[in-house]
Amino acid sequence: MTTAIVKVRRPEFWAGWGHFLRQLLYFGLAYLAYRIVRGLVAGDGTIAFQHAREVIAFERSLHLFIEPSLQRLVSSLPWLMDVAGWLYINAQFTITVLAFLFLYFYRPAGYTQARNTLLIAMGLALIGYALYPTAPPRFLPEWGFVDSVSDATGLHLSQSSALFSDFFNPYAAIPSMHVAFALCIALPLAQSAHSRPVKVAWLLYPLLIAFVVIVTANHFLLDVSLGVLTALLARSLAALPERLRQHGTALPATGPATG
């Protein structure tokens, strides 16, 4: 039999290698900025731990400090905790990269705003990391937290982990960029989805990631809330040029997947 089992769709958009490599450059420069800020804040654990305790005190004052109880509940279902650990490891990089590749090749009309939203969100997050470095819950076992990702996967995401030192800022809890990244890709993918089930799935994706980062003790509820605000503010700023053009402001027009 010569019939192909899987038919790979050809890209609907291709602006040439120069344009594609320029997109990689944008993300590379954003990552370089992240590394610089990480080097500035990652070494000062004392302040980061103090900020984490301040977050706990704030949530307790509002009777919202439910993270340890939620983690214990999910831990009673080992398979669910394993899934949460896998999603935490893969969501921010693997799923996000695949989503952006899909947007670039198959939904170019939504790619540019999604890209700009992500880059702006990263810039806003870097400000937060620099001004308010915060240790994640998993570094605070005295409050009942367990580093479930390390326990489930064997990958130790600690401040001393050489394997992940290039990819994770141990004191970058505020805002939660896992949640912000999820919103940055979920909104344009839901908007461009051709079927209702796919649209609903993408709209639920940020809620799933919020659940994941909390039950794995990588973020507080406050971190998640600020991650949502970061993504929404970034999306609003990314859409600002288009809104100004609609009001008659003379700005250069942009087409699908430009820049």
Tell me the DSSP string of 33-51.
Answer: HHHHHHHHHTT-HHHHHHH
Note whether residue 3 is domain-resident. Answer: no
Note whether residue 143 is domain-resident. Answer: yes
Note whether residue 6 is domain-resident. Answer: no
Question: What is the pTM assigned to this prediction?
Answer: 0.84
Note whether residue 87 is domain-resident. Answer: yes
Residue 142, domain extent: 28-244
Note whether residue 182 is domain-resident. Answer: yes
Q: In this structure, are residues 214 and 221 in contact, taking their beta carbons and an 8 Å threshold?
A: yes
Query: Between 96-106 and 177-192, two packed helices, what is the crossing angle to 10 degrees?
Result: 30
Task: Per residue of the chain (259 residues), give pLDDT as tens.
Answer: 444 444 556 776 777 788 889 998 988 888 787 777 766 656 568 899 999 999 999 999 999 999 999 999 999 999 999 999 999 988 888 999 999 999 999 988 889 999 999 999 999 998 998 889 999 999 999 999 998 776 544 445 444 444 344 445 688 889 999 999 999 999 999 999 989 999 999 999 999 999 999 999 999 999 999 999 999 999 999 998 878 887 765 445 445 555 6
Residue 172 DSSP SS3: strand
Exposure string (b/e) for 205-232, b if CB count within 10 Å is 16 or more?
A: bbebbbbbbbbbbbbbbbbbbbbbebbe
pLDDT at residue 5 in the model: 43
pLDDT at residue 36 in the model: 75
pLDDT at residue 252 in the model: 52
CA-wise closest residue to 148 among 138, 139, 158, 140: 138
Note whether residue 17 is domain-resident. Answer: no
CA-wise closest residue to 171 among 44, 34, 85, 75: 44
pLDDT at residue 6 in the model: 42
**Interacting residues of 55 by C-beta distance below 8 A, sequence separation 6+:** 134, 173, 174, 220, 222, 223
How far CA 258 is from CA of 14, 23, 100, 108, in Å, comes to: 11, 10, 14, 9
Q: How many domains are there within the chain?
A: 1
Note whether residue 240 is domain-resident. Answer: yes
Per the structure block, which two tokens stand in for 215?
């039950």
- For 99, phi then psi, to 5°, come to -65, -40
pLDDT at residue 2 in the model: 45
What is the chain's percent helix, strand, coil content, to nearest 5?
A: 70, 0, 30
pLDDT at residue 249 in the model: 53
